[in-house]
């Protein structure tokens, strides 16, 4: 479904991605872990053509997106649902308007069909009944769930999550993790979650990729990763700082 081939990206003289290669099969759920500022969000933006690599290639469903124009990219982005940090809901709109936003804009469904789809996806995230509320009336965890409902409302083939649990308390995080697992199971969507929350990474990814110093340092099943004796992996997954490390 997605193939990333040796992508490199620098901003000024800061080389963020130094040759990143990986691929994801249709229906797979993976997580990408790595230190803050390590380039995880930059990597996700390459997958939807919001950032172009300096070199290397990104293929989505077999198509190279790097040389696409804006109109072609819009078609590719239509395959993706995105839950970005902070959920990014429109505060002036109700929950139902937020969730149905893309469906409404595309004008392919009647208002009644949209209302039905909004109810379905809100039910999936345990929020049916909140349709008329404004985002400001909801807790942080509930806003993330509205963001999740909005991301899946138009039935994307691929879901991208950027730090879905950051800023949430452990219970709200657990709820989001369980819902992400439910969405993957019920919709068979391909999913890529970026996180530095190790508990979350372990639960929602069938494979974990670790981005370290601009490259995929490891690509393993969660149980193997957590048992790893490699010092870099071991320190990262167990949150052990190295006082000699000066770049942090």
Ligand X SMILES: Nc1ncnc2c1ncn2[C@@H]1O[C@H](COP(=O)(O)OP(=O)(O)O)[C@@H](O)[C@H]1O
209 forms part of the interface with ligand X (CB under 6 A) = no
Interacting residue with Mg ion among 6, 35, 41, 228 (CB under 5 A):
41
167 forms part of the interface with ligand X (CB under 6 A) = no
Q: How far is the CB of 183 from ligand X (least distance, A)?
A: 22
What is the rounded distance in angstroms from the CA atom of residue 77 to the CA atom of residue 27?
A: 17
Do the beta carbons of residue 149 and residue 122 sit within 8 Å?
yes
Q: Which residues within the stretch 22-81 sit at the binding site for ligand X (CB under 6 A)?
A: 34, 36-42
Count of chain residues binding ligand X (CB under 6 A): 10
Q: Which is nearer to Mg ion, 40 or 150 (CB)?
A: 40
Q: How far is the CB of 163 from Mg ion (least distance, A)?
A: 6
**H/E/C letters for each residue in 86-121?**
CCCCCCCCCHHHHHCHHHHHHCCCCHHHHHHHHHHH
Question: Which of Mg ion, ligand X, none is residue 42 near (CB under 5 to 8 Å by kind)?
Answer: ligand X
CB-based contacts of 82, cutoff 8 Å, min separation 6: 48, 151, 159, 160, 161, 162
Q: Which residues within the stretch 3-22 sit at the binding site for ligand X (CB under 6 A)?
A: 11, 16
What is the rounded distance in angstroms from the CA atom of residue 101 to the CA atom of residue 163?
A: 22
Do the beta carbons of residue 18 and residue 55 sit within 8 Å?
no
Question: With CB under 5 A as the contact rule, which of the stretches 32-40, 51-59, 72-80, 183-191 interacts with Mg ion?
Answer: 32-40
E-only strand ranges, the chain: 2-11, 14-24, 29-33, 55-60, 63-64, 80-83, 158-162, 190-194, 207-212, 215-220
Q: Which is nearer to Mg ion, 41 or 220 (CB)?
A: 41
Q: Which is nearer to ligand X, 55 or 139 (CB)?
A: 55
Question: Which of Mg ion, ligand X, none is residue 38 near (CB under 5 to 8 Å by kind)?
Answer: ligand X
Q: Which is nearer to Mg ion, 27 or 86 (CB)?
A: 86
What is the rounded distance in angstroms from the CA atom of residue 144 to the CA atom of residue 80?
A: 17
Question: Which of Mg ion, ligand X, none is residue 135 near (CB under 5 to 8 Å by kind)?
Answer: none
140 forms part of the interface with ligand X (CB under 6 A) = no
Q: Which is nearer to Mg ion, 127 or 208 (CB)?
A: 208
Do the beta carbons of residue 160 and residue 47 sit within 8 Å?
yes
Q: How far is the CB of 40 from Mg ion (least distance, A)?
A: 5
Do the beta carbons of residue 196 and residue 36 sit within 8 Å?
yes
Neighbours of 67 (CB within 10 A): 8
What is the contact surface with Mg ion in residues (CB under 5 A)?
40-41
What is the contact surface with ligand X in residues (CB under 6 A)?
11, 16, 34, 36-42
């Amino acid at each position: 479904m997605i193939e990333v081939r040796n992508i490199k990206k620098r901003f000024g003289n800061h080389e963020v991605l130094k040759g990143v290669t990986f691929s994801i099969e249709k229906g797979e759920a993976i997580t990408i872990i790595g230190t803050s500022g390590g380039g995880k969000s930059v990597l996700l933006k390459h997958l939807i053509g919001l950032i172009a690599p300096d070199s290397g290639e990104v293929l989505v469903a077999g198509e190279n997106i790097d040389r696409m124009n804006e109109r072609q990219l819009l078609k590719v982005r239509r395959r993706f649902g995105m839950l970005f940090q902070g959920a990014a809901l429109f505060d002036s709109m109700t929950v139902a308007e937020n969730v149905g936003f893309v469906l409404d804009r595309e004008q392919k469904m009647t208002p009644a069909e949209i209302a039905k789809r909004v109810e379905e996806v809100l039910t999936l995230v345990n929020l049916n009944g909140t349709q008329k509320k404004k985002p400001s009336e909801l807790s942080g965890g509930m806003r993330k769930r509205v963001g999740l409902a909005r991301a899946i409302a138009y039935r994307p083939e691929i879901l991208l999550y950027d730090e879905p649990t950051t800023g949430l308390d452990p219970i709200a995080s657990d709820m989001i993790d369980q819902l992400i697992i439910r969405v993957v199971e019920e919709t068979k969507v391909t999913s890529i979650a970026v996180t530095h929350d190790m508990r979350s990474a372990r639960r929602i990814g069938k494979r974990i990729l670790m981005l370290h110093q601009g490259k995929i340092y490891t690509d393993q099943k969660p149980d193997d990763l957590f048992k790893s004796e490699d010092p870099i992996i071991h320190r990262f997954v167990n949150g052990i700082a190295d006082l000699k490390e000066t770049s942090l």
